[in-house]
């Protein structure tokens, strides 16, 4: 690991801050920020705003102009070395006369990892890798999973009472958590490509599943309905004005006339295999979603869909909210059903746990190790 200075850290922090400006907007591309420094001063900066537009390095080089010659470039992710929608950034860096490139983390794509750095080094540019590496890598945890496995990153979100109930015995559930917790959920929605919901929760709550943030106009995610029996009412709020652009319906094979009215309302109908219990294959659904360029999925379902997601081991991260109330009741719903673990040692393990508070609500986040 190179010996980075305090100034190096400060400039990479600036690049990270720039990258976060496009949070939720760049998919299926990663978040990237870049600054160019000459004689201790930033002369150019930029971030990647969305897929199809120039990368962070190009914006920074344009701003720097001739001042880039002999300067240092700090970038959160290894510069690309291949022709995609835009030309390779490595060529632009070399042409600009950059003398040193400091990279937060290598590109995790197994097809290209390291090639950008190697190309720059072969051209006589000093390259140093690993500055604030963990922060740079975690910023793109969705994309890292997608690019290495060809599957979306899946977050399971649930809100429960302190005794783990997501609804009373009568089915009442709104609202368990407070307004600050719900605001954070809308931030989660805005940061994910898609929200997945099961038919049970859809019928009970009739949600819109849009990202609603005060004073902001966030990108609304795709809404995915998992409904094997086609029980979704045609007049529900989830379809909204953008239904045929943003709603995907996952179901099993049905007669064409039964599917016909839904084809007018949704972007696409995904026909999936099901098991002997009639449950759709969620692993196959993840594969299909990845083919459509969906990098991240937020599950906001009920006990049944949560259990199916856990049983199928598609969950990467959990985000559980607990409110300081006790619901009780033999018939009240828990957070996760499904088959579950037979013994405690077989339970899914959560790592890298973080805890935050939203007034009196507690939010627990952590990661599951993928096994399939």
Catalytic (active-site) positions: 57
Q: Classify each residue of 234-272 as buried b or exposed e, where b means 16 or more C-beta atoms within 10 Å of its C-beta.
A: eebebbbeebeebbbbbbbeeeeeebeebeebbbebbeb
| Strand partners for 250 | 226, 270
CA 255 to chain centroid, in Å, comes to 34
Q: Is 215 left (phi over 0), alpha (psi -120 to 50) or beta?
A: left
The alpha-helical segments, DSSP class H, found in 87-214 are 89-96, 115-122, 133-139, 141-149, 179-191, 199-205
Residue 74 to residue 205: CA distance in whole angstroms: 47
The vertex-208 CA angle with 154 and 321, nearest 5°, equals 50
Residue 108 to residue 111: CA distance in whole angstroms: 9
């Amino acid at each position: 690991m190179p010996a980075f200075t305090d100034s190096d850290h400060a400039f990479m922090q600036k690049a990270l801050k720039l990258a976060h400006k496009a949070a939720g907007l760049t998919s299926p591309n990663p978040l990237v920020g870049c600054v160019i420094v000459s004689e201790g001063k930033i002369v150019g900066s930029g971030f990647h705003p969305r897929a199809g537009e120039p990368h962070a390095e190009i914006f920074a080089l344009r701003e720097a102009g001739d001042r880039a010659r002999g300067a240092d470039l700090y970038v959160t992710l290894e510069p690309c070395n291949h022709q995609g929608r835009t030309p390779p950034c490595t060529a632009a860096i070399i042409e600009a006369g950059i003398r040193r490139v400091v990279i937060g983390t290598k590109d995790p794509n197994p097809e290209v990892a390291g090639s950008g750095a190697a190309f720059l080094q072969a051209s006589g540019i000093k390259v140093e890798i690993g500055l604030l590496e963990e922060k740079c890598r975690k910023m793109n945890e969705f994309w890292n999973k997608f690019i290495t496995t060809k599957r979306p990153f899946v977050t399971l979100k649930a809100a429960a009472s302190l005794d783990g109930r997501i609804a009373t015995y009568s089915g009442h559930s709104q609202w368990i958590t407070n307004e600050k917790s719900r605001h954070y959920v809308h931030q989660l929605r805005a940061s994910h490509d898609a929200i997945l919901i099961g038919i049970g929760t859809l019928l009970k709550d009739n949600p819109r599943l849009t990202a609603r943030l005060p004073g902001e106009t966030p990108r609304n995610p795709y809404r995915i309905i998992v409904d094997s029996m086609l029980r979704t009412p045609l007049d529900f709020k989830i379809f909204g004005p953008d239904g045929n652009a943003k709603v995907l319906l996952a179901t099993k094979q049905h007669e064409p006339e039964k599917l016909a009215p839904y084809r007018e309302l949704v972007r696409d109908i995904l026909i999936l295999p099901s098991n002997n219990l009639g449950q759709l294959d969620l692993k196959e659904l993840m594969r299909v979603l990845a083919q459509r360029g969906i990098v991240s999925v937020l599950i906001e379902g009920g006990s049944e869909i949560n259990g199916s997601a856990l049983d199928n081991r598609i969950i990467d991260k959990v985000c559980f909210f607990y409110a300081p109330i006790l619901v009780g009741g033999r018939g009240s719903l828990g957070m996760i059903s499904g088959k579950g673990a037979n013994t405690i040692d077989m339970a899914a393990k959560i790592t890298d746990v973080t805890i935050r508070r939203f007034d009196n609500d507690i939010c627990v986040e952590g990661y599951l190790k993928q096994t399939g």
